Amino acid sequence: MHPGSDTSPAARRRRSNGVRTRAEIVAVAECHFAERGFEDTRLGDIAAAVGIRRPSLTYHFADKQELYTAVLQTVFADWSRSLPTGGSAVQRLEAAMAGWVDFVAEHPNAARLLLRELANAQPEKVGAFLRTGSAEVDWFETLIHEGVATGELHPQVEPLRFMSLMAAVAVVQFAAIPWLSLRVPADPRDREELRKRKHEILLVARTLLGYEPETAPTRTGRAPARTATED
């Protein structure tokens, strides 16, 4: 029998416990990396918070870089799975950007991790976020090229620069604005606050990619006029 094919109740319990421990390690590590950054995070601290010894942690993750990669993959997986597959290029783009705002609102550590990735970026190195998010980068590049081909988009910047700027906008919205607005506290998950943030990020996207938002036709078949302040 293959060593990994043991289906006894005891073996299943061990595997189940191993999966739970791994998930707990990733959850604790997410908070440590978001609060302290990669360099200042210690595996021993994470192991202690989980309630295991450091050798037990390295059984699940060979080193800190592997654990950090697992954290990024886990944190951004929900948004990756929610990327739209139907509609025009503009519709998919706007749905993805609005979904990004919702995602970061529900995952505050995502903004902190992304902020640290941006701050620590080095020209000669590919950041961990880009390594783990290559599929999402490809998705946006493909979408923008498709929009150009169909005449929907008229980019003012290259796709990678667009993605970089959108990431920066999201970080400012969720990491900097609460600090700047201490006199008027804002709940990032408040419905009206989310509406404003989606409106802001879409205004930037429309400017950078040179397109107008789609509107539903009226009963006469003509689209109603829009103002510059409408979503």
Domains and CATH numbers, the chain: 3-61 (1.10.10.60), 75-209 (1.10.357.10)
Where residue 227 falls among pLDDT bands split at 50, 70, 90?
A: very low
Q: What confidence tens digit (pLDDT) does each residue in 156-208 have?
A: 999 989 988 888 787 777 665 555 555 555 666 778 888 988 999 999 999 99
The mean pLDDT value for 45-72 works out to 93
| DSSP string across 134-159 | HHHHHHHHHHHHHHHHHTS---SS-H
d(CA 37, CA 39): 6
Residue 1 has pLDDT above 50, yes or no: no
Q: Which two tokens stand for residue 150?
A: 């169909």
Q: 160: which residues sit within 8 A by CB, 6+ positions away?
A: 137, 141
- pTM reported for the whole predicted model: 0.73
Q: What confidence tens digit (pLDDT) does each residue in 78-116 have?
A: 788 889 999 999 999 999 999 988 888 888 888 888 877
pLDDT of residue 217: 42
Lowest mean pLDDT of 39-48, 59-68, 133-142, 187-196, name the range. 187-196
Better pLDDT: 229 or 175: 175
| DSSP string across 33-97 | HHHH-TTT--HHHHHHHHTS-HHHHHHH-SSHHHHHHHHHHHHHHHHHHT---SS-HHHHHHHHH
pLDDT of residue 9: 52
